Structure 1
Amino acid sequence: QPFTGLYADKHPRPYALSIGMCFTLTGLLVLAFAEYYWAILIAVSVVGFGSSVFHPTASRVTQLASGGKKSLAQSIFQVGGNGGSALGPLLAALIVLPYGQHSISWFAIAAMLAALIMVRLGAWYKAKLQYVVNHPQKTVGLNNNISKRAKYGALAILILLVFSKYFYTSCITSYFTFFLIDKFGVSVKASQLFLFVFLAAFAIGTVAGGMLGDKFGRKYVIWFSILGAAPFALAMPYVNLTWTIICCFLSGLIIASAFSSIVVYATDLMPDKVGMIAGIFFGLMFGLGGLGSAFFGWLADKTSIEYIFQVSSLLPLLGIIAGFLPNTQKTKNIVAKDTGKKG
């Protein structure tokens, strides 16, 4: 994703959105009829490549369409993915399990419709690019006094925060059902429904975080989101089933609010490299999620499912380092002072 994002910054391709969805469509069809393990790996790789083409350009389009409310626009864009992730376990339980592997091909209809819609959106993006070329835009409301060293330091902090966020969420999304079955003896179907609670909270928190980021400042939303989830994450491995679901919901709701603010904060640091920065953080989101799932699976084999939840609950405490992030947005006092000088 960073490489396709860098290419999108230098050579914008309005119809890359539709091309990305075509890769997803192809991957779903291959997955639906794959009979061998290597064919499954190829299928999911094709889906992943479609994602890498889609996300950096989609983030550029999102910021162009934001009307200045960049965090809200980014969160609305991301909630589509989060909503799909939330519905995934339900659709697997309701469609794939009873009707078999071939039923995955039914979801290709959604990918086909998305590819067609993206053609229309690509035409809008092409016109918008031409307008921006003829009418250069000035960055308004950004703090331009951040040194290059401070920018790279801030990016390093954001990477650590993304690590803590997605290692924690990968533990929940991959092993929460096993945790509930192992500790409380719930059925497989019930565990899928309880996982949906977390994923739905994640989708809701994504939109809420975007709204709060534009209103109160992205730095503070990032800080609250990661660190604020810590009390509920720490309590979850030690409480009864009812409180486990409540803590799961609240931790998902709070920790989800960070990512849109993280992406927009990072692009505010380097506004001329929106595609590359978005590609880096979307790549980290998927990559760290995969690594986290593999790591916790290995650790669970060595210890127990309950132990990995006790370990992962410490990760949100890393949110404390968000306090070292510089402010990328000008404060109202600074804007007022600048306005006074112009007067």
Structure 2
Amino acid sequence: MTQNPQTSIHTDLLQKTAYSILFSISFAHLINDLIQAIIPSIYPILKESYSLSFTQIGLITFAFQFTASILQPFVGYYTDKHPKPFSQIYGMVFSLAGIISISFADDFYWIVISVMLIGIGSAIFHPESARISNMASGGKRGLAQSIFQVGGNFGTALGPLLVALIVVPHSQKYILWFVIAAVIGLGILSKIAFWYKEHLQLRNYSKGIALENNLSKKQVNFAISVLLIVIFSKFFYSASLSSYYTFYLINKFNLSIQNAQYHMFIYLIAYALGTILGGPLGDRIGRKYVIWFSVFGAFPFALLLPYVNLFWTDVLMIVIGIIISSAFPAIIVYAQELLPKKIGMVSGLFYGYAFGMGALGSALLGILADHTSIQYVYTICSYLPLIGIICYFLPNLKKGF
């Protein structure tokens, strides 16, 4: 049977890797996560200005990340059935409102409301962005997910640096400068939205068939459970690094807030570099092995971290950042391949669960820090990557999936 030439053209377009869209959505991710990174970066300022406890700092993180996490699976589930090409624009508007609000917030409850607005924006952004990167991948799903996620990592890395340069020397109201980033993000997301709308029409025309894996429903459910345990380990540990690392440096090495932010930037850049490696390596050698190494492989370095000087702290944080960050692109694509007909829902579930574990980790570790010390928190958390050994039980997906 001869294939319709027009259908063939549409199929070719769907199978082609759209690098311009991948880098655009990656840059939008940079802006989204740059805005998110403002929150932990201003913790020392907020703590000093409003006499907040570590418990309150943990609750602020919990409010932000819980808002982001609880909404994401529902956003993904809904958009699987009813794709909304312009939804990301609405998400950026929420984030913009959060930036403006937190610039003027002058008490704990106002701060909580502000970070929740940013959390809602993030919840809307991530599931649809993961779907777009999958659509634009041309089959190179690991590479596409790495390109998408590295934008977010660089945004997270730039946040503390820009806060140190712009906000710390002046005042909290200088956070308003980040409104410029949100406006740029709105422009980029508008361009992506029109591509997404057109691509959905092409996909409907071509009647593309979702890929299937060779696993039973029981095996899929077991693999999802293992991945969720791995994310618990990874993001609980990451919470100690993202929310409390500047306090750890200030407390242990007597650094200023500004100097501590520069050391935080070193770790976050390493984290971004690891993300670049994780997706393509998963495409080449198998996602199971990347996930296993990137979580369990960080264990010996995490174990050493609480006992070294400032120079070796930076060295170990670079190694830990590169290793542990390579997991998430592989985890997301592996999960998408487990449930290929529910890309939005599974992406929202895993992004949301990751945010949720970060939220829970930040809240509990803040309480622990108040009752013990920051250094004790880092000693306890250094054992968390050991849980990554459970990755041994992940099934291998069929070759070429």
Q: Which range, TM-score by smaller chain?
A: over 0.9
Give, in whole Å, the separation in 1 of the partners of 2:80 and 2:125. Answer: 13
Give, in whole Å, the separation in 2 of the partners of 1:122 and 1:23. Answer: 17
Q: Is the counterpart of residue 198 in structure 1 residue 267 in structure 2?
A: yes
8-17 or 289-298, larger mean C-alpha shift: 289-298
Selected match of 2:85 from 7, 10, 14: 14
2:142 alignment counterpart = 71
Conserved in 1, the CA contact under 8 Å of 2:77 and 2:345?
yes
For 2:218, the aligned partner's letter is R
Conserved in 1, the CA contact under 8 Å of 2:80 and 2:343?
yes
Selected match of 1:161 from 194, 217, 230: 230
Conserved in 1, the CA contact under 8 Å of 2:236 and 2:361?
yes
1:266 alignment counterpart = 335
Q: Report the count of equivalent residues.
A: 330
Q: How does 1:157-306 map to 2 (within 5 A)?
A: 157-306=226-375
Q: How does 1:132-151 map to 2 (within 5 A)?
A: 132-139=203-210, 144-151=213-220
2:119 alignment counterpart = 48
158-167 or 293-302, larger mean C-alpha shift: 293-302
Taking only aligned residues, the RMSD between alpha carbons, in angstroms, comes to 1.5
Give, in whole Å, the separation in 1 of the partners of 2:256 and 2:115. Answer: 28
TM-score by length of 1: 0.92
Give, in whole Å, the separation in 2 of the partners of 1:13 and 1:316. Answer: 37
Shift of 1:241: 2.1
Q: Which runs of 5+ in 1 are unaligned?
A: 336-343
| DSSP-derived class of the 1:84 partner | helix
Conserved in 1, the CA contact under 8 Å of 2:92 and 2:125?
yes
Residue by residue over 1:256-300, the C-alpha shift from the partner in whole angstroms, topping out at 9 and shown as x without a partner, is 000011011001000011101111111112121121111111112
For 1:301, the aligned partner's letter is D
Q: Is the counterpart of residue 95 in structure 1 residue 160 in structure 2?
A: no
Q: Which runs of 5+ in 2 are unaligned?
A: 1-71
Give, in whole Å, the separation in 2 of the partners of 1:112 and 1:82. Answer: 20
Shift of 1:23: 1.2
1:118 alignment counterpart = 189
225-234 or 94-103, larger mean C-alpha shift: 94-103
1:24 alignment counterpart = 95
Give, in whole Å, the separation in 2 of the partners of 1:176 and 1:9. Answer: 37
| DSSP-derived class of the 1:207 partner | helix
Give, in whole Å, the separation in 1 of the partners of 2:377 and 2:198. Answer: 50
| DSSP-derived class of the 1:99 partner | coil
Shift of 1:65: 0.3
Q: Is the counterpart of residue 83 in structure 1 residue 157 in structure 2?
A: no
Give, in whole Å, the separation in 2 of the partners of 1:102 and 1:240. Answer: 35
131-140 or 316-325, larger mean C-alpha shift: 131-140
Instruction: Extract structure 1 runs of 4+ deviating beyond 3 A.
Output: none
Conserved in 2, the CA contact under 8 Å of 1:223 and 1:322?
yes
Identity among equivalent positions (%) equals 51
| DSSP-derived class of the 1:98 partner | coil
1:60 alignment counterpart = 131
TM-score by length of 2: 0.79
Give, in whole Å, the separation in 1 of the partners of 2:254 and 2:96. Answer: 37
Conserved in 1, the CA contact under 8 Å of 2:168 and 2:258?
no
Q: How does 1:302-321 map to 2 (within 5 A)?
A: 302-321=371-390
Structure 1 residues 300, 35: CA separation in 2 closer, same or farther (over 3 Å shift)? closer
For 2:154, the aligned partner's letter is G
Shift of 1:327: 1.4
For 1:62, the aligned partner's letter is S
Conserved in 1, the CA contact under 8 Å of 2:240 and 2:365?
yes
Conserved in 2, the CA contact under 8 Å of 1:217 and 1:329?
no
169-178 or 3-12, larger mean C-alpha shift: 169-178
For 1:124, the aligned partner's letter is W
Structure 1 residues 206, 146: CA separation in 2 closer, same or farther (over 3 Å shift)? same
Give, in whole Å, the separation in 2 of the partners of 1:4 and 1:251. Answer: 32
Give, in whole Å, the separation in 2 of the partners of 1:46 and 1:188. Answer: 26
311-320 or 100-109, larger mean C-alpha shift: 100-109
Give, in whole Å, the separation in 2 of the partners of 1:244 and 1:100. Answer: 30
For 1:28, the aligned partner's letter is I
Give, in whole Å, the separation in 1 of the partners of 2:301 and 2:351. Answer: 26
For 1:55, the aligned partner's letter is H
Give, in whole Å, the separation in 1 of the partners of 2:182 and 2:315. Answer: 34
Shift of 1:139: 4.6
180-189 or 155-164, larger mean C-alpha shift: 180-189
